[in-house]
Chains A and B, each alone.
Chain A
Amino acid sequence: MIMGHFNSWVVIILMMIGLYIVIAQGNLIKKLVGLTLFQTSVFIFYISMANVDGATAPILAQGITSYSNPLPHALILTAIVVGIATTAVGLALVVRIKAAYGSIEEDEIDAIDKQEG
């Protein structure tokens, strides 16, 4: 029971660590790092779902009959590249926030917003 689902325990803990970083830490770049952690843990979950015991990589070869499920592989391939693209947009936003507010800590940005009304 535990070992059959061991991957999923670890994935849940990693997801929650990522979520905690996004919610609780104040620095904006740290939040983006937490988001990346979250995304990668979801990839691990999908790929462990696609694994079949005793099968090999989904590339057709002579003499092999059982393959891993190729559908989640294709989904996760797209997801990884889209993840890096959105992280890049997030980092560009953080750089602009720094230029506009002078700081990237959430508390200080809130304080500056309140001051300006």
Chain B
Amino acid sequence: MNIVLLTFLLIVAIAIIRTRDLFAVTMLLSIYGLLSASFFVTLDAVDVAFTEAAVGAGISGLLMLVAISITGRKEQSAKRKPFIALLVVSLTTLLLFYGISDMPYFGATDAPIHNHVAPRYIQDSMGEVGIPNIVTSVLATYRAFDTFGEVVVIFTAGIGVFALLSSSNAHSQAKNIIPDQNSMDKRHLVIRIVTKILFPFILLFALYVQFHGDFGPGGGFQAGVVFAAAVILYAMLFGMKEATKVFSQSLVQVVAAIGVLLYASVGVATLLLGGDFFDYNSLASDPIAGQHIGILVIELGVGCTVAAVMMIIFFSFNDLQEQPKADNNKEPEL
């Protein structure tokens, strides 16, 4: 099973090199993400597969499509043969092949990776933290500081995209655009009705994944991505004006900042209550209840930030697109 999936991945990767049309490259990238998500499932990494399917197969393809609709679809063919690049790549490949032969076989139970810290996490997680999903307990309790750094990185990326793409032109133009279609426009009837039916269920599923992350695959990251995907779907179909009635730009930015603030305040609270930084045992009288409270609040922070940052990124790209451009972005109408 692994061999089949990996062979498909190789075929898709080689196809990406040889394709000139960027639209097709985006589709191939989404297929690549979906295939790697299936591969992760066959390797028993269910949390990772969920995240890769939501992010790699969904959001990343969407972002590339929005970028391509601004910059153009065709890639020019290379003017000269890239011999030096091929040489460098082949040399590195040979060196890596030589280095791989020393590694222990995948799947062996006595490999060094399985013998130092991991058995402690697996055996003590139920006693110290009390939730069945070991990956969530590693992410939220044992390695909470790493996850904090990552939330800050995501927030910074959102700020970066917003700073790069927002311009005063965009905002003044957006106010002048009169909505030229009412919401149930005849042209897009089928998909608008289906979206209106499905939209509350998608949001409900995002909330379910957020709070069920303790017992099964899930948690803050996946929930944030699914939530943002639902809002982006709505915004794409009904126009930015409808979407910004509920999720205005300033609200989304404030929510992103609140997510990071929640995460950091849990850490500061544990410091103030006498424990180490991010040591949840001091949050309540019973250590296990303290762990549960700590994990709940930081997962909420992570979910808020991820959802808000994805929405910021998409809205920034979309604002740029609504400016009247000359003639170089023929956005295919739906």
Answer yes or no: A and B touching, Cβ < 8 Å: yes
CB<8 Å pairs between A and B, sample of 25: A6-B3, A9-B100, A10-B9, A10-B10, A29-B25, A30-B75, A32-B64, A37-B16, A40-B33, A47-B43, A47-B45, A55-B44, A59-B46, A60-B134, A70-B138, A71-B113, A73-B45, A74-B139, A77-B51, A78-B139, A89-B160, A92-B161, A95-B70, A95-B317, A98-B71
Is B118 in contact with chain A by the CB < 8 A criterion? yes
Most A Cβ at <10 Å: residue of B39, B45, B320: B45
Neighbouring B residues of A29 by C-beta, 8 Å = 22, 25, 64, 67-68, 71, 75
Contact B25 A85 (CB under 8 A): no
Q: Is the CB of B56 within 8 A of A85?
A: no
Asked if B122 CB lies within 8 Å of chain A CBs, one says: yes
Count of CB-CB pairs between chains A and B under 8 Å: 268
Partner among A18, A23, A27, A30 whose Cβ is within 8 Å of the Cβ of B82: A23
Q: Does B88 contact A (CB under 8 A)?
A: yes
Q: Which of B55-76 contact A (CB under 8 A)?
A: 55-56, 59-60, 63-64, 67-68, 70-72, 75-76
**Which of B147-155, B178-186, B199-207, B273-281 interfaces with chain A?**
B147-155
Pick the contact of B76: A14, A83, A105 (CB < 8 A): A105
A104 within 8 A of B: yes
Chain A nearest CB from B97 CB (Å) reads: 6
Asked whether, in the complex, the Cβ of A70 is within 8 Å of the Cβ of B71, the reply is no
Q: Does A112 contact B (CB under 8 A)?
A: no
Complex Cα spacing A97 to B114, Å:
46
Instruction: Say yes or no for B85: interface residue by CB 8 A criterion.
Output: yes
Q: In whole Å, how far is B112's beta carbon from the nearest beta carbon of chain A? A: 10
Who on chain B is nearest to A105 by CB? B76
A88-B161 in contact given A44-B36, A60-B125, A81-B221 (Cβ < 8 Å) = yes
From A74, A81, A96, name the one whose CB has the most chain B CB atoms within 10 angstroms. Answer: A81
Contact B105 A74, beta carbon cutoff 8 Å: no
Contact bitstring A2-35, B, C-beta under 8 A = 1, else 0: 0011111110111111111101111101101110
* B211 contacts the other chain (CB 8 A): no
Interface string of A52-87 (1 = CB under 8 A from B): 110111111100001111111111111011111111
Report how far A74 CA is from B133 CA in the complex, Å: 11
Interface residues as binary, B81-121 with A (CB distance below 8 Å gives 1, 0 otherwise): 01001101100110011001101011111010110011001
Q: Chain B interface secondary structure, helix, strand, loop or mixed?
A: helix
A27 CA to B135 CA, complexed, in Å = 39
Whether a CB of chain B sits under 8 angstroms from the CB of A94 is yes
With contact pairs A84-B55, A98-B71 given, residues A16 and B43 touching in the complex (Cβ less than 8 Å): no
Contacts of B147 in A (CB 8 A): 78
B85 and A23 contacting across the interface, CB-CB below 8 Å? yes
Is the Cβ of B106 less than 8 Å from the Cβ of A84? Answer: no
Question: Which chain A residues border B215 with CB–CB below 8 Å?
Answer: 59
The answer for the CA separation of A58 and B114 in the assembled complex, in Å, is: 13
